[in-house]
Amino acid sequence: MRRFSFRMILLLCIFLVVIDAFAFRALQSITNTAFAYNPVLRIGINILFWTFTIGLVSAILALKIRFDKMHPRRRQLWISSLYGLTVSSFAPKLLFAVILTILQHAKFIFPPAQSFLIISLIGLFAGFLPFFVIIYGIFRTVYRFKIYRIQIPLKTLPAAFEGLRIVQISDLHLGSFNYRYSILERAVHLINHLQPDYVFFTGDLVNNYAWELKGWNSTLKKIKAHHGKIAVLGNHDYGDYSTWDSDDMKRENFRQITDFFSEISFTLLRNDSVILSRAGDKIAVIGVENWGKPPFKQYGDLSLAMKEVAGIPCKILLSHDPSHWSGEVLKHTDIALTLSGHTHGMQAGIKTKNKEWSLIQYKYKHWAGLYEDAGQFLHVNRGLGWLGFPGRLGMAPEITLITLKREE
């Protein structure tokens, strides 16, 4: 909320009240008829409706007013809670009001004697269904970890690395787990069961602060890989989304975050590279700092990161933001495979057998899953944690098992 002025927050609250007034008017068209002979119940429904609205708006304004005085941990809990309440309230009410209004103007399509009942039932169903879906996403599917298994054929893959097993994880956002270590323990168990050769982490360890890391080293140290664990930073790992009392405080916060990777036995690549060797063959793993399109910072320096491995034919890049692939990698380098995260798939989407859709695709061309262009591959992990909306709808938290194959 720090990034939004009081005026913007006030406009948001006014918008929420306008939507609620629209929904309330639609609701009255039902209650005034259904409870015409029971004014006490009708008034009670009205009071409950507006009590929730006034309470939500008041809480949002109070959070903004007291934002600077609150401890970051408490502030983070309030923001995620209010975000969940706002989404679970706003979306169902808007859908309910729109559908009921449309039906009332088209009531001639229903039998006259039954039109009120049919319209009321459809309108209420339209409102309650998304509400329960959102609640389900918050309380049931937010930590329902899913393993995605993909095979990627690489032209430059050395023979000794045929069948190499890589687990990619991304976007832990540890602060959002609120120190519930046992939840992430389940993900660690799934990762270890896959018996990977390497584990690659593609950024956003925290939401913003080093204090979010408290106690997590014992959990994350349990992640096992036969040959190594490698990581890069994400945009949230730099402390850029807060105002610091001094530059020294921000630097110390960043130092603690970067030092944490060695505590959990991950090699952190910051515009650097490592060489993986097997039976005389080699693969280069390149890791850049965050590189995103504005307003995201571009700390990444791909030329510097590749400097020591230019002569190795098979290259894998870890870069948090998938925009980097189309911006500097694709058709500009000989990097065979890029692994990214960042988008979370917006934590909400619709998936069918052959297609996946999310609103995030209108911002990011490459937002989830595997992409290929002229033999160069990008995989975008949907993330393990969450940020903002405290749930997931049709966009499960992801653990990716990537098996590399030699292209015939």
pLDDT tens digits along 343-397: 999 999 998 888 899 999 999 999 999 999 999 999 999 999 999 899 999 999 9
Handedness of CA 67, 140, 132, 49 (dihedral sign): negative
Residue 113 is predicted with a pLDDT of 65
Q: Are residues 180 and 114 in the same domain?
A: no
**Counting Cβ atoms within 10 Å, is residue 21 exposed (0-12), middle (13-18) or buried (19+)?**
middle
Q: Are residues 85 and 111 in the same domain?
A: yes
Residue 348 lies in a domain: yes
- Give the lowest-confidence range in 39-48, 210-219, 274-283: 39-48
Residue 1 lies in a domain: no
How does the average pLDDT of the chain come out, rounded? 93
Number of structural domains in the chain: 2
Q: What percent of the chain has pLDDT over 70?
A: 99
Residue 361 lies in a domain: yes
Name the residue with tokens 């020294």. Answer: 248
Q: Are residues 281 and 394 in the same domain?
A: yes
Spatial distance between the Cα atoms of 175 and 205, rounded to a whole number of angstroms: 9
* The model's pTM: 0.88
Query: What's the per-residue H, E or C state across 323-372?
Result: HHHHHHHCCCCCCCEEEECCCHHHHECEECCCCEECHHHHCCCCCCEEEE
400 CB contacts (<8 Å, ≥6 apart)?
147, 148, 149, 150, 167, 168, 169, 379, 381
Q: Are residues 166 and 72 in the same domain?
A: no
Q: Are residues 162 and 189 in the same domain?
A: yes
Which of these three, 123, 139, 155, is where a domain ends?
139
SS3 233: coil
Strand partners, 400: 148, 168
Q: Are residues 199 and 110 in the same domain?
A: no
Confidence of residue 37 (pLDDT cuts 50, 70, 90): confident
- Greater confidence (385 vs 243) lies with 385
What the block records as the tokens of 118 is: 């049919």
SS3 208: coil
Confidence of residue 1 (pLDDT cuts 50, 70, 90): very low
- Mean pLDDT calculated for residue range 185-207: 98
Which of these three, 90, 124, 139, is where a domain ends?
139
Which of these three, 139, 167, 183, is where a domain ends?
139
Residue 347 lies in a domain: yes
Q: What percent of the chain has pLDDT over 90?
A: 72
Q: Are residues 134 and 245 in the same domain?
A: no
Residue 91 has pLDDT above 90, yes or no: no
Q: Are residues 182 and 307 in the same domain?
A: yes
Handedness of CA 224, 220, 257, 2 (dihedral sign): positive
Q: Are residues 183 and 319 in the same domain?
A: yes
- Mean pLDDT calculated for residue range 263-277: 98
Q: Are residues 15 and 129 in the same domain?
A: yes
CATH number at residue 291: 3.60.21.10
Given a contact cutoff of 8 angstroms between Cβ atoms, the answer to whether 89 and 135 are in contact is no
Residue 294 lies in a domain: yes
For residue 266, the enclosing domain spans 146-406
Residue 152 lies in a domain: yes
- Mean pLDDT calculated for residue range 270-280: 97
pLDDT tens digits along 101-159: 888 877 777 777 677 778 788 888 888 888 899 999 999 999 999 999 999 999 999 99
